[in-house]
């Protein structure tokens, strides 16, 4: 499975943790790491991503605004989005799920939890034939 994943996280330590967690379980994975929602918007047209992982609390464009853009854009709307956030309130979780994210993972998380969620996201991703 050759995957390309966009990791959107303003903390360089957390970006590194996510990237190394992905590599541990998916050695062939290519992760593109950006530190803000604005940088994510610049990366989207340059690559074809299989999954997007984003934080909520970030400078400039926050994760929920980024997800809203992705889910409204015909070219990106079918990419599974996973939120990884310190925000643990049910309200934040519901906001993310209402926008159409695939999963909401609370920090701290384990590499196994992330890996399992990525596998499920890939398995449930619509194939090109299924897109409307």
Report pLDDT digits (tens) over 8-19: 999 999 999 999
Answer whether 1's CB lies under 8 Å from 8's CB: no
Beta carbons within 8 Å of 107's beta carbon, 6+ residues apart: 14, 84, 85, 86
Hey, is 78 helix, strand or coil?
coil
**Which ranges of the chain would DSSP assign to H, the alpha helix?**
12-25, 37-43, 63-72, 90-98, 111-124
Say what the pLDDT of residue 128 is: 56
Residue with tokens 């609390």: 57
Taking the chain (132 residues) in runs of 10, the rounded mean pLDDT of each run is 90 94 90 96 96 92 94 96 87 87 93 95 72 42
pTM for the model stands at 0.91
Q: Could you give the domains of the chain?
A: 4-124 (3.40.50.2300)
Show the tokens assigned to 78: 């079918």
Residue 2: predicted pLDDT: 81
């Amino acid at each position: 499975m050759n995957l390309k994943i966009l990791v959107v996280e303003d903390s360089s330590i957390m970006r590194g943790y996510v990237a190394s967690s992905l590599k541990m379980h998916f050695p062939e994975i290519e992760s593109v790491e950006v530190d803000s929602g604005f940088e994510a918007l610049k990366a989207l047209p340059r690559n074809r991503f299989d999954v997007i992982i984003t934080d909520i609390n970030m400078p400039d464009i926050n994760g929920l605004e980024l997800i809203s853009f992705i889910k409204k854009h015909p070219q990106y709307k079918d990419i599974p989005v996973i939120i990884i956030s310190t925000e643990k309130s049910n309200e934040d979780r519901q906001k993310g799920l209402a926008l159409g994210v695939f999963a909401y993972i609370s920090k701290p998380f384990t590499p196994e939890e992330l890996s399992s969620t990525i596998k499920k996201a890939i398995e449930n991703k619509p194939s090109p034939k299924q897109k409307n």
